């Protein structure tokens, strides 16, 4: 957000603390006077410092023009100037302005002097810090023997087109140190008489009141609080500002009195001197930029929506502010250009970064009087080029636009329903289109919910099925790893090859080419059973497959009749790869496998075939 709160609107926290707790001594005042005398080519006795700028201007007028004389002023000005002229016992004569400089030139000055008598001086303001063509005005002033009074409230440090600095051309210069001026110490002013033949200036001796000192010290802090409250909500910021004005913690613009006896505080002299010394190094530019728009109220409202609070315009009336306009005795018919400009002018501060004012300028350019560009405001700014204030303002504007559209739609529906009812339509026809659309939306929503629910059930079943299959595979994998098996086929081979002494059925092993004969009816002899050697290590416990209960078997065992092994190479151990890919120890042979190997090697005799 951007504001008009004087130069204090750009103060950092350290600047605010420095201003609030600044202190000075009695040497600060003469030091400020000495600097002004040296800078503008005057003597020390011809410089005086006062509590406000209108007092300094009043002293300047009284020093060059007697009471009852007339003073030419620009028609776009502040009431403080008119107050200074009238309090000096003089009559203001308004000169119309030029649209380029917001000030009168040689042509406007000549027109204002027509038919006027007893005009003794002219006041040159250089409005908003825009320098006038001083050579032409100086020529007209010399021809009419008019003293030039330069008002430096807006233009301290600015140079005229011919290269001379403002304040060095006229007979006397008046400076203002008020808030928002080119030298901002919240309050104060000074007068400098450059003609050494003028009498010395009487110095003020009265210190300012404590209330004035309090307001001057805490104004930057109050402005910081106002800015932060505007971030919370503009209404909160405006309410707090109204409270400060009501309790007189801050002053309204143009409020004040002419008081030649009161000087400036010492600590404010120190603040003003610091800024005056920095003028030649930082250069000077116009205090504000101005634009003439077709609908100022609409532009200001648009600026507020974007976060720019620039309603403090110089000048919204030919003699501003509005509450003092009637006291100025201004006649709009005499200055038509100034009257027109006062209805169209919009100001932008120059102390902000140009990028921060891009959106404000785009909005203003879309409403210019002389060169309107209706598409300028609608041009979109890239997101990365927007400032934080512009982003917040954009979001706020979009939200306000949506709210406005919803209210308009709601009102249109109500009006349509009322019209149908007024036309005498039956109750069943009064139902608006929106209600029908609402029903359709409800049906679609219900159908969508049911469809999503059905999809969800199918998906859940599929997921459950996948989960079960995955668990089975993992369980089987763990069994394989535990038995050091590579596949289900290996498991079935080992189970079939293991000697099951409790098994009484006869089987055929195709790999070993062994057959088992049927039991004879009356065997004559029983061969001695072959005993296998005792194993040195018990084999791994085999998994017990689930078996169905078998019927009772005969008590007589069956005997193997003969073995016809194939001629195969001797095998000592069986090495099988681990399912996990890790190296494992060789598996021990079963008794049957050892017996088979020994028979193949010829170490034992084959049993005779019965």
Q: 189-193 and 172-176 as β-strands: parallel, antiparallel, unpaired?
A: antiparallel
Whole-angstrom CA distances from 433 to 414, 416, 487 are 11, 10, 71
Average model confidence (pLDDT) across the chain:
79
Residue 276's pLDDT is 92
Share of the chain above pLDDT 70, in %: 72
pLDDT (tens digit per residue) in 12-22: 788 888 889 99
Mean pLDDT for 303-318 is 87
Nearest to 12, CA basis, from 182, 187, 223: 223
Residue with more model confidence, 558 or 126: 126
> Quick one: pLDDT at residue 119?
95
The counts of H helices and E strands in the chain are 17, 13
Alpha-carbon torsion (212, 260, 175, 265), positive or negative? negative
Tell me how crowded residue 233 is: count the other CB atoms within 10 A of its CB: 10
* 127-141, 186-200, 370-384, 583-597, range with the lowest pLDDT: 370-384
Residue pair 49/22 in contact (Cβ under 8 Å)? The answer is no
Angstrom CA distances, 499 to 534, 539, 556, 603, stand at 14, 11, 19, 21
pLDDT digits (tens, 9 = 90+) for 131-149: 999 999 999 999 999 999 9
Spatial separation of the C-alpha atoms in residues 65 and 384, rounded to whole Å: 59
Residue 582 Ramachandran class (φ > 0 left, ψ -120 to 50 alpha, else beta): beta
Could you tell me which of 151, 100, 107, 110 has the C-alpha nearest to residue 130?
100
The candidate with the shortest Cα–Cα distance to 335, out of 148, 99, 154, is 99
Phi, psi of 507 (to 5 degrees): -135, 170
Q: Are 155 and 126 in contact (CB under 8 A)?
A: yes
Which pLDDT score, from 0 to 100, does residue 455 have? 56
Cα 362 to Cα 300, 357, 374, 386, 582, distances in angstroms: 13, 9, 10, 13, 74
More confident residue, 301 or 450: 301
Distance CA 40, CA 165 (A): 9
Q: What are the CA-CA distances from residue 134 to residues 168, 241, 465 (Å)?
A: 11, 40, 95
Q: How far apart are CA 604 and CA 594, in angstroms?
A: 12
Q: How far apart are CA 195 and CA 500, in angstroms?
A: 135
Of the candidates 182, 248, 153, 152, which has an alpha carbon nearest to the alpha carbon of residue 209?
A: 248
Mean pLDDT value of segment 437-442: 75
Q: Is the pLDDT of residue 515 over 50?
A: no
3-class SS of residue 308 = strand
Lowest-pLDDT choice from 15-24, 193-202, 349-358:
349-358
Q: What is the pLDDT of residue 274?
A: 92
Which pLDDT belongs to residue 499?
47
Cα 85 from Cα 93, distance rounded (Å): 10
State phi, psi for 540 to the nearest 5 degrees: -65, 145
| Segment of 182-196, 389-403, 449-463 carrying the highest mean pLDDT | 182-196
DSSP code, position 306: T
> Could you give phi then psi for residue 387, rounded to 5 degrees?
-80, 170
End-to-end Cα, the chain, rounded Å: 114
pTM: 0.63
pLDDT given for residue 358 in this prediction: 86
pLDDT reading at 403 higher than 80: yes
H-run or E-run covering 220: helix 210-232
418 vs 507: which has the higher pLDDT:
418
Q: With a cut of 90, say whether residue 379 has pLDDT above it.
A: no
Task: Tell me what the mean pLDDT of segment 63-69 comes to.
Answer: 94
| 71 contacts 91 by C-beta, under 8 angstroms | yes
Average pLDDT over residues 599-609: 61
């Amino acid at each position: 957000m951007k504001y008009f709160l004087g130069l204090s609107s750009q103060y950092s926290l350290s600047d605010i603390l420095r201003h609030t707790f600044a202190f000075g001594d009695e040497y600060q005042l003469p030091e400020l006077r000495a600097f002004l005398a040296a800078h503008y080519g005057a003597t020390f006795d011809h410089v005086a410092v006062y509590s406000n700028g209108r007092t300094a201007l009043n002293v300047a007028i009284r020093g060059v023009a007697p009471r009852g004389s007339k003073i030419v002023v620009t028609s776009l000005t502040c009431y403080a100037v008119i107050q200074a002229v009238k309090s000096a016992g003089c009559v203001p004569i308004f000169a119309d302005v030029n649209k380029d400089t917001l000030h009168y030139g040689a042509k406007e000055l000549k027109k204002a002097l027509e038919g006027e008598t007893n005009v003794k001086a002219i006041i040159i303001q250089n409005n908003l810090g825009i320098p006038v063509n001083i050579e032409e005005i100086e020529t007209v002033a010399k021809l009419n023997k008019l003293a030039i009074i330069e008002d430096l409230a807006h233009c301290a440090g600015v140079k005229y087109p011919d290269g001379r600095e403002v304040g060095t051309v006229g007979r006397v210069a008046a400076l203002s140190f008020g808030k928002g001026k080119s030298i901002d110490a919240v309050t104060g002013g000074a007068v400098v008489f450059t003609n050494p033949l003028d009498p010395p200036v009487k110095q003020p001796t009265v210190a300012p009141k404590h209330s004035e000192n309090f307001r001057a010290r805490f104004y930057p802090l109050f402005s910081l609080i106002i800015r932060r409250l505007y971030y919370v909500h503009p209404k909160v910021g405006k309410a707090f500002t109204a409270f400060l004005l009501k309790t007189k913690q801050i002053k309204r613009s143009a409020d004040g009195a002419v008081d030649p006896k009161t000087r400036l505080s010492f600590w404010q002299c120190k603040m003003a001197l610091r800024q005056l010394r920095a003028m030649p190094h930082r250069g000077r530019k116009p205090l504000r930029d101005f634009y003439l728009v077709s609908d100022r109220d609409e532009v200001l409202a648009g600026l507020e929506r974007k976060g720019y609070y620039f309603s403090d315009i110089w000048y919204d009336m030919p003699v501003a502010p509005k509450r003092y306009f009637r006291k100025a005795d201004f006649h709009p018919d005499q200055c038509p250009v100034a009257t027109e400009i006062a209805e169209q002018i919009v100001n932008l501060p120059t102390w902000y970064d140009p990028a921060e004012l891009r959106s404000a300028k785009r909005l203003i350019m879309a409403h210019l009087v002389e060169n309107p560009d209706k598409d300028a405001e609608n041009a979109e700014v890239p997101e990365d080029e927007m400032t934080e204030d512009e982003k917040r303002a954009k979001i706020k504007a979009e939200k306000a636009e949506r709210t406005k559209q919803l209210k308009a739609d709601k009102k249109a529906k109500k009006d349509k329903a009322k019209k149908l009812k007024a036309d005498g339509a039956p109750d069943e026809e009064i139902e608006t289109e929106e209600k029908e659309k609402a029903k359709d939306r409800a049906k679609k929503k219900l159908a969508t919910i049911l469809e999503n629910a059905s999809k969800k059930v199918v998906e859940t079943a599929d997921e459950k099925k996948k989960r079960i299959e995955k668990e089975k595979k993992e369980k089987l994998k763990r069994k394989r790893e535990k038995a050091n098996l590579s596949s289900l086929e290996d498991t079935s081979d080992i189970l079939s090859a293991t000697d099951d002494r409790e098994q009484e059925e006869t089987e055929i092993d195709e790999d070993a080419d062994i057959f088992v004969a049927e039991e004879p009816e009356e065997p004559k002899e029983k061969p001695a059973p072959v005993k296998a050697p005792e194993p040195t290590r018990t084999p791994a416990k085999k998994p017990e497959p689930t078996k169905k209960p078998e019927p009772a078997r005969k008590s007589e065992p069956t005997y193997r009749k003969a073995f016809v092994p194939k001629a195969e190479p001797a095998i000592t151990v069986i090495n099988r790869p681990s399912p996990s890919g890790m190296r494992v120890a060789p598996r021990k042979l079963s008794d049957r496998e050892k017996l088979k190997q020994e028979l193949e090697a010829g170490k034992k005799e084959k049993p005779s075939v019965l």
